Copies of this chain bind each other. A is one copy, B any other.
Amino acid sequence: MKREPSAEEKAFLEQYRPQDYPRPAVAVDLVILTIIDAQVRVLLVKRKEHPFKGGWALPGGFVRVGSGKEQGEDLDAAARRELLEETGLDPDRVLIEQLYTFGRAGRDPRMRVISVAYVALVRPDLAPIVRAGGDVSDADWFSIESLKKQELAFDHREIVDTALSRIRGKLEYSNIAFDLVPLTFTIPELRHVYAIVLDREMDPGNFRRKFNRMLEDGVIERAPGKRITASKPATVYRFKRR
């Protein structure tokens, strides 16, 4: 929106003082997903402070809001900053997108907190470096399965569920699967990702046919080499982009 404010409007803005109606705190929370040991995993951090001290929660933090002309950081920037801070991962190498905004009154007992949730997909070859960043005991990749028996802080379970449902939906009609697989991959490996995320077997033949259409569309291309497996080696491909 590029426009030139009128003189009158400029004057208004000069003398404008925000009313002190109570304002909520605004946070970004991240659902950082990857695949480790054939399981979908979400990164959780152990809370150091009340409330839910010692409990597991999604990584996140408050959005930086400046004062005066400096209004602070964009929401996306806050999400990317948190990703970097909490995992050490380069936000440019990770798919990160806004998920949904959770703002139920009382979701944080301290005060009114509105949380803009983001989902991030981390390629499994990048996931191991995450631990290196912080104290191992303070962050861990929880499998979705184990989450069923794990209590989460705040409404973070609901946020995780929303994220999974979103990712499962997008798997059908988008290319996000390529963000859950190393830079080069075989068709069976990609198929496993689908099977793991959707939690159902995919027919190898039918999957390959779908995949071949992507090849024809130029979305992916062959990469050099073959992947050695316990049986017949598989052709290696790579996604075109990045």
Residues of chain A touching chain B, judged by Cβ–Cβ distance below 8 Å, are 1, 3, 5, 8-9, 12-13, 16, 18, 21-26, 50-53, 62-63, 65-67, 70-75, 98, 100-107, 109-112, 114, 116, 151-155, 157
Contact = CB atoms under 8 A, between A and B. Distances in A.
Which 5 A-B residue pairs are closest in the complex by CB-CB distance?
A75-B103, A12-B50, A71-B105, A23-B23, A71-B112
Contact of A101 (B52, B116, B153): B116
Q: Which secondary structure dominates where chain A touches chain B?
A: loop
Contacts of A109: 5, 13
Contacts of A153: 1
Scoring A26, A65, A71, A72 by chain B CB atoms within 10 A of each residue's CB, the highest score goes to A71
Contact of A74 (B5, B71, B104): B104
Nearest to A111: B18
Contact of A110 (B16, B26, B53, B63): B16
10 contacts: A9-B53, A12-B53, A21-B25, A22-B72, A24-B65, A24-B72, A66-B112, A70-B105, A103-B116, A114-B116
A75 B1 contact: no
Contacts of A112: 65-66, 71-72
